[in-house]
Amino acid sequence: MKSDALLLVVTLLMQWVIGLGAVGAIGYRLERKTLLPLSLLLGMFLHSLSLFGAQLAGIPLSLQTMLVSGTVTMLLPLVRFSTVRATLAGLFDVPRIRPTLYDVVIAGFVGYVGYMVVWASWYWPVTPFDAMAGIDLVARYAAKDGMIANQVFTDPSVRGMLSNQPFYAPFAMLMQVMMKLIGYPYTQIWVSIVAISFWWFVWSALRRVVHPLLAGVLLVLFVLTPEMLGYSYILQTDFANAAFFSIGCFILLRAIDEVSLPGMAVAALAFAGACWSRTETPLLVVLVVGMCLPRILREFGAVKGLAGSLGIVAASSTAFALWNIVFFNWYLPQRPSTAEQLRGFDLGRFAEVVGSSWTSVISSTELWGWAVWLFLGVLIVDAIINRRIAQPMLIGMIIATFLGLFLVGTIFSAAIVEQTLRRGMFKVIPLMIVAIAGSGLVSSASSTLYSWEAGRRS
Amino acid sequence: MTAEPRPVFSVRGLILTAAVIAVLTLLVGPYLGEANPYASSFHARIELYREKLDSLNRIRGWRDRIYMRHMANLEIPEYLVSKLRPTDTLLLPPIEYGNQFMATKAFWTDPRIFTWMVGFQPIVAWRDTSRRNSANAYVVLEANTIWITRPGGSTNIDSLLAVYEKLGGGK
């Protein structure tokens, strides 16, 4: 194995352990199929944060800095060793897998797509304009100069022409820095690792609510979502942002159901990752948590519920502030003109954004396959036949996320419906897919399928 | 819902497997026509690469891979840099000027993309009105031809800048 490939494997394993340690230290017990993908994603986030912390402390970016910051982050959770050990007990137990033939077919198909996605992210150089003009350009010179505030922000040839691209995606930029420090100057291979981990996580969320065959088919629909499939190997920040945000939503839902404060802490970590990966996400987090607040207060009680909710908002705000306030004001020689892009709220423009989002983005089967229409279909059928909406909290999260996206489109002049809101939809599609699985209609089909397969009368 | 145990192998399991294979085939195959958005996307984003995997894997150099993705947007900056003199400060034309001669968008006219392709160079973006006057070398494009012109050369700089201005506007 070449040394750069070995370093990549070591880095990924380190990030995996970082994530496992973080969840372990928080003390939130999860089944392995959820814990493993979640840990890898959280580990990537925390590692990028620790590398950034090293930079803030004045340590130049280098391979050594990356490995040492990762090692320190990996060791930190050991402060709560007994909690880590208790939470992760059973992690290395021999798995009891009893796959049926159709499980193998679905796993084979998704595995094939996964292989091609990894290959494409390894083979092709960065392609999207936004990434070349922002994330990757900054990352290249950050790795070269040893600092994020590099010549991209000072050289007269580009200094005045930066627009907002180099400023809004620290997670993706730092992951690119890591790839370059490892020895991959042009690749974007981490993007596919994020995609596969996220697919794995969505599959585990589907498996919690529905028959494996239906979970598999819905997973395939999710993986093949036309607009998202390309971004599973092309460098942009939106796929990673969607992964963190959706995971935050799913874990938050679960934490509320289980009345688990550690669960809320893990959700806070995922939401912080989302805010670390895209600037406008705190607004969405506040709306989602606000929507859940009455139920959180009811389940947890006023003090714990409020503490948990504020904790999520605080974690998200901290991730946002570290980059957008601390770094911009005290480290970067140049600031984006975000304030100039802000406009006052205007109801007419809001209605216009909602209308054009629906016609040119949300309703498009070319972009989202059948996901949106299936979601609306099962929602309506559920409402008519069962006279109730299954998973009202999840539906509420979808509505809150849409509301946030529409608000972003209304108050930010730089947010363009066909681009910014289109990629913002990445956050909604996984929620919709799981909402389809949890609907009364699909749940009934799932029960029928279990009975039929086992030869019982339903 | 808690997972119920399923028989690992059964006739009903076989029927379900056949159903899954049928669904996957319909989903990524051409059978449903334009009503199926998954097939064309799957073909463009996955199958296309699978079909060319062997030949693509033979192309190992990064410069070649970047060229396959960016074509003229790589070649033009490379060519221009090779022709720059030490005293030159090159004015990049507005994208509209470049678009006239290219099948794809002339992203190379953006200083960030130019820098991504060939590193930092003495360049000035057309939009950079405060530094525009410091340029002393200019890009001229014609069908299948590109060159750098300088004051005193064969090309009238004022006429060229008027074309830039007309296509790209003042900013």
% of chain B at pLDDT higher than 90? 74
Q: Does B48 touch chain A (CB under 8 A)?
A: no
Q: Report the distance separating Cα B116 and Cα A138, nearest Å.
A: 9
Cβ-contact A242, A169 below 8 angstroms: no
Section A124-140 average pLDDT: 93
Q: Report the distance separating Cα B62 and Cα A185, nearest Å.
A: 9
Please tell me the predicted confidence (pLDDT) of residue A388.
82
Give the tens place of pLDDT for each residue, A290-324.
999 999 999 999 999 999 999 999 999 999 999 99
Burial of B75 (0-12, 13-18, 19+ CB in 10 A): middle
Q: Report the distance separating Cα A144 and Cα A151, nearest Å.
A: 10
Section A420-439 average pLDDT: 94
Residue B4 has pLDDT above 70, yes or no: no
Q: Dmax over Cα atoms in chain B, in whole Å?
A: 86
Section A184-207 average pLDDT: 95
Please tell me the predicted confidence (pLDDT) of residue A458.
53
Give the tens place of pLDDT for each residue, A352-404.
999 999 999 999 999 999 999 999 999 999 999 888 888 999 999 999 999 99
The tokens for A105 are 């077919």
Please tell me the predicted confidence (pLDDT) of residue A421.
86
The residue ranking higher by pLDDT, B5 or B100, is: B100
**CA A379, chain centre distance (Å):** 25
The torsion of the CA quartet A300, A34, A207, A121, rounded to 10 degrees, works out to 130
| Among chain A residues, CA nearest to B23 | A217
Please tell me the predicted confidence (pLDDT) of residue A412.
83
Residues in Cβ contact with A274 at an 8 Å cutoff, skipping those fewer than 6 apart: A241, A244, A245, A248, A281, A284, A285, A316
Strands B90-91 and B137-142: parallel
CA R_g for chain B: 26
- Residue in B116, B49, B169 with CA at minimum distance from that of residue A129: B116
Q: Report the distance separating Cα B29 and Cα A360, nearest Å.
A: 26
Q: Provide, as residue numbers in chain A, all residues whose Cβ is less than 8 Å from the Cβ of B8.
A: 98-100
Burial of A258 (0-12, 13-18, 19+ CB in 10 A): middle
In this structure, what DSSP letter does residue A325 have?
I
pLDDT level of residue B169 (50, 70, 90 thresholds): confident
DSSP SS3 for B137 = strand
Q: Provide, as residue numbers in chain B, all residues whose Cβ is less than 8 Å from the Cβ of A441.
A: none
Q: Report the distance separating Cα A397 and Cα A295, nearest Å.
A: 13
Contact B42 A229 (CB under 8 A): yes
Contact B130 A160 (CB under 8 A): yes
Section B145-166 average pLDDT: 91
Determine the distance in angstroms separating the CA of A79 from the nearest CA of chain B, rounded to an integer. 35
Section A198-206 average pLDDT: 97
Q: Does A386 touch chain B (CB under 8 A)?
A: no
CA distances from A217 to A45, A92, A262, A390, B137 (A): 30, 29, 32, 20, 59
Report chain A's mean pLDDT, rounded to a whole number: 93
Residue B1 has pLDDT above 60, yes or no: no
Residue A60 has pLDDT above 90, yes or no: yes
Q: Provide, as residue numbers in chain A, all residues whose Cβ is less than 8 Å from the Cβ of B27.
A: 220-221, 224
Give the tens place of pLDDT for each residue, A22-45.
999 999 999 999 999 999 999 999
Section B91-109 average pLDDT: 93
Q: Does A158 touch chain B (CB under 8 A)?
A: yes
| Among chain A residues, CA nearest to B63 | A125
Q: Does B63 touch chain A (CB under 8 A)?
A: no
Contacts across the A-B interface (CB distance below 8 Å) = 156
Cβ-contact A402, A431 below 8 angstroms: no
pLDDT level of residue A257 (50, 70, 90 thresholds): very high
